């Protein structure tokens, strides 16, 4: 078995017999859904491969290869009448350099369109009876010439556009005024992008652009060019196409079984690997009424390829190609109240509720409107794949959540940099966390939180006031997805543990401990103290406060209960249990809780 990491060429995947999850049965549904379709999915989610599949299916010049490419697939057993009946014109806007001046970008844009038309002219020279004239200064003129020539043939054009919003995505991650000016010059009024889409729209007849399929990440550009191209039918919230890009769990399991046979692994090894992939890569749902969640295909292939090659899990569960998604979280963290949103997601079991997704926000709002609301920020994170649809409330609202541990790691890293901007502080945080991993020593970690994090908690920009706040601080410092499967609400049988860090199965060779922590919080008001009073207490006096004693007793009882449940679930835990009680954002009292043998 060979895996197509980084390969988005359908022809190559099929002819080289690479791993492929068949989605060709959706071709008929796409045809029946509409002529001009728009599909939005996060980056690195298989959109380019989907377009390549459509290209190979509809291309009239590849008719002789239909049986080779599709004969063994679902659509090959019942093809639609439209297979191999189109000229294919394909644009990939990720190839357009978004740097430089507006004129530079306009030139790169025209050059790309013209280059694609030159390829079209070469690919179909046996079908064209006139020459397509290419205007180096005006790609729209070149398109008109192409359509004039095509109309003299019996074949229409199927237009495929990949990453239509790539330019906007690059611009929106920077808020400099000149970038906004460039975008406006490119998109608004008679800018080249809007002019292009107007030309496409005006040519949507049977002898021109008969069909189009556009992929992108967000609706930003489509919102800004609506009058130029208001015929695109959005299918990204359609449950029928929820898995058009992405893998089902049974497809992952099938691949793992093949690997296990090659590596001589046992049935339990398959289950273990599947459990690990599930918590790290599963959890994406793009339609509210979709039945099943799907796996990120790029991350799944990254894991499976490494597993197949070495019969071991990859050391890092996050492929560096997806690390750039942190830029989206950085963008949100810089918006007023955006940092609070990220913190709330960590506190509220990694989920939030909104009335509905916003699908009409343009670059003006992205770059200049400083009063961006909760729905806007949440929708933005959904489109970029760092939030996903979880469910609906009884009132019809949408529940969004962080999809998996890989994405959660991005949040944790962003929050850590937001709360501890100094690299030296973050380095010290790594050191104190290691004392707990390796030795079960909680004291350095608690002292670090008292002396550095609690100063941040006094910031009036953050509305924090319970044990979830303290848990966020510890999670930010302790998060390590190389060594641990980290769950901040781990199901422990009869309840949910505040923070459970279970050593990854492949990391048990190291001398580290499984960690379980239960947090409790007492406000200064409950204790009848001021902040200054609390900071002046000795540890003995702190422990003598009745409310602290009551909370510590409760925490110890729960950590014992949850720890016993986890040790029944896992055979070989090295569980180190702790109870932590916080007095406001001033002081911490911690105790290790020994298991009763």
What is the rounded average pLDDT of the residues 44-50? 93
Mean pLDDT for all residues in the chain: 88
* Burial (CB count <10 Å: 0-12, 13-18, 19+), residue 58: buried
Picking from 137, 157, 22, the residue whose alpha carbon sits closest to that of residue 86 is: 157
Contact 351, 401 (CB under 8 A): yes
Q: Which two tokens stand for residue 16?
A: 């080289």
pTM equals: 0.89
Q: Is the dihedral of CA 288, 294, 297, 303 positive or negative?
A: positive
pLDDT digits (tens, 9 = 90+) for 365-410: 666 655 567 888 899 899 989 999 999 999 999 999 999 998 888 8
* Burial (CB count <10 Å: 0-12, 13-18, 19+), residue 546: exposed
pLDDT at residue 424 in the model: 93
pLDDT at residue 487 in the model: 73
> Can you tell me the distance from the alpha carbon of 563 to that of 578, in angstroms, rounded to the nearest whole number?
10
pLDDT band at 176 (very low <50, low <70, confident <90, very high): very low
pLDDT digits (tens, 9 = 90+) for 96-153: 887 777 788 888 889 999 999 999 999 999 999 899 999 998 999 999 999 999 999 9
Q: Which residues contact 126 (CB under 8 A, 6 or more apart)?
A: none
CA angle 587, 592, 595 (to 5 degrees): 155
pLDDT digits (tens, 9 = 90+) for 209-254: 999 999 999 887 777 776 667 788 999 999 999 999 999 999 999 9
CA angle 338, 45, 328 (to 5 degrees): 20
Give the SS3 label for residue 503: strand
pLDDT band at 540 (very low <50, low <70, confident <90, very high): very high
DSSP E strand stretches across 444-505: 484-487, 490-491, 496-497, 499-503
pLDDT at residue 493 in the model: 55
Residue that is written with structure tokens 């099929």 in the block: 14
345 or 32, higher pLDDT: 32
pLDDT band at 206 (very low <50, low <70, confident <90, very high): low
Picking from 245, 290, 292, 248, the residue whose alpha carbon sits closest to that of residue 398 is: 290
Q: Which residues contact 422 (CB under 8 A, 6 or more apart)?
A: none
Strand-strand pairing, 388-392 and 398-401: antiparallel
pLDDT at residue 453 in the model: 86
Picking from 32, 71, 36, 244, the residue whose alpha carbon sits closest to that of residue 156 is: 36
Strand partners of residue 91: 161
Contact 286, 242 (CB under 8 A): yes
Q: Which residues contact 337 (CB under 8 A, 6 or more apart)?
A: 374, 377
Contact 287, 407 (CB under 8 A): no
> Can you tell me the distance from the alpha carbon of 277 to that of 250, in angstroms, rounded to the nearest whole number?
12
pLDDT at residue 104 in the model: 84
Give the SS3 label for residue 581: strand
pLDDT at residue 175 in the model: 46
In this predicted structure, the answer to whether residue 578 has a pLDDT above a threshold of 90 is: yes
Span of 175-189, 322-336, 424-438, 461-475 with lowest mean pLDDT: 175-189
CA angle 317, 518, 476 (to 5 degrees): 40
Picking from 199, 239, 212, 260, the residue whose alpha carbon sits closest to that of residue 87 is: 212
In this predicted structure, the answer to whether residue 291 has a pLDDT above a threshold of 70 is: yes
Contact 285, 242 (CB under 8 A): yes
pLDDT at residue 195 in the model: 83
Domains and CATH numbers, the chain: 10-241 (3.40.50), 249-315 (no CATH), 420-597 (no CATH)
pLDDT digits (tens, 9 = 90+) for 544-553: 999 999 999 9
Residue that is written with structure tokens 């990859």 in the block: 314
Contact 547, 520 (CB under 8 A): no
Phi, psi of 418 (to 5 degrees): -75, -40
CA angle 311, 316, 322 (to 5 degrees): 120
Write b or e for each residue in 190-217: b if 16 or more Cβ atoms lie within 10 A of its Cβ, otherwise e.
ebbbbbbbbbbbebbeebbbbbbbbbbb
């Amino acid at each position: 078995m060979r895996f197509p990491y980084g390969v988005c060429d359908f022809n190559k995947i099929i002819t080289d017999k690479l791993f492929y999850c068949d989605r060709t049965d959706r071709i008929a549904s796409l045809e029946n859904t509409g002529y001009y379709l728009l599909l939005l999915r996060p980056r690195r989610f298989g959109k380019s491969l989907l377009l390549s599949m459509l290209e190979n299916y509809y291309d009239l010049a590849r008719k002789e290869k239909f049986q080779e490419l599709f004969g063994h697939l679902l659509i090959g057993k019942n093809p639609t009448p439209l297979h191999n009946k189109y000229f294919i014109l394909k644009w990939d806007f990720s190839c357009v350099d978004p740097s430089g001046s507006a004129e530079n970008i306009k030139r790169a844009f025209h050059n790309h369109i013209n280059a694609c038309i030159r390829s079209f002219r070469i690919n179909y020279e046996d079908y064209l009876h006139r020459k397509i004239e290419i205007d180096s200064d005006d790609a729209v003129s070149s398109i008109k010439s192409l359509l004039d020539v095509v109309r003299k043939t019996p074949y229409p054009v199927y237009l495929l556009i990949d990453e239509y919003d790539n330019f906007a995505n690059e611009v929106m991650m920077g808020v400099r005024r000149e970038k906004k000016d460039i975008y406006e010059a490119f998109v608004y009024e008679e800018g080249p992008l809007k002019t292009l889409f107007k030309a496409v729209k005006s040519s949507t007849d049977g002898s021109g652009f008969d069909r189009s399929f556009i992929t992108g990440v967000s609706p930003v550009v489509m919102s800004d060019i609506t009058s130029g191209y208001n015929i695109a039918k959005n299918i990204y919230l359609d449950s029928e196409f929820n898995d058009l890009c992405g893998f089902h769990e049974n497809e992952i399991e099938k691949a793992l079984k093949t690997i296990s046979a090659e590596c001589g692994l046992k049935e339990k090894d398959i289950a273990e690997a599947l459990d690990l992939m599930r918590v790290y890569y599963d959890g994406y749902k793009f339609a509210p009424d979709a039945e099943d969640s799907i796996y990120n295909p790029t991350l799944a292939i990254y894991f499976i390829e490494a597993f197949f090659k070495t019969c071991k899990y990859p050391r890092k569960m996050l492929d560096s190609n997806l690390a750039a998604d942190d830029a989206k979280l950085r963008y949100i963290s810089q918006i007023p109240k955006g940092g609070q949103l990220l913190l709330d997601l960590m506190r509220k079991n990694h989920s939030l509720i909104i009335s509905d997704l916003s699908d009409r926000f343009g670059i003006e709002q992205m770059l200049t409107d400083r009063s961006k609301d909760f729905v806007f920020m949440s929708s933005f994170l959904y489109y970029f794949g760092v939030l996903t649809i979880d469910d609906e409330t009884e009132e019809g609202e949408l529940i969004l959540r962080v999809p998996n541990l890989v994405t959660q790691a991005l949040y944790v890293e962003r929050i850590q940099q937001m709360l501890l901007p100094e690299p030296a502080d973050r380095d010290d945080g790594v050191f104190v966390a290691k004392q707990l991993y390796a030795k079960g020593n909680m004291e350095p970690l608690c002292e670090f939180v008292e002396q550095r994090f609690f100063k941040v908690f006094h910031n009036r920009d953050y509305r924090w006031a319970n044990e979830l706040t303290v848990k966020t601080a510890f999670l930010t410092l302790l998060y390590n997805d190389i060594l641990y499967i980290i769950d901040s609400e781990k199901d422990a049988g009869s309840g949910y543990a505040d923070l459970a860090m279970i050593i990854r199965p492949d990391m048990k060779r190291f001398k580290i401990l499984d960690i379980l922590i239960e947090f409790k919080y007492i406000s200064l008001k409950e204790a009848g103290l001021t902040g200054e009073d609390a900071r002046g207490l000795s540890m003995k006096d702190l422990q003598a406060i009745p409310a602290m004693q009551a909370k510590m007793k409760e925490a110890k009882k729960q950590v014992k209960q949850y720890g016993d449940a986890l040790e029944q679930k896992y055979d070989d835990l090295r569980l180190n249990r702790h109870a932590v009680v916080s007095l406001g954002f001033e002081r911490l009292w911690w105790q290790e809780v020994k298991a009763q043998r």
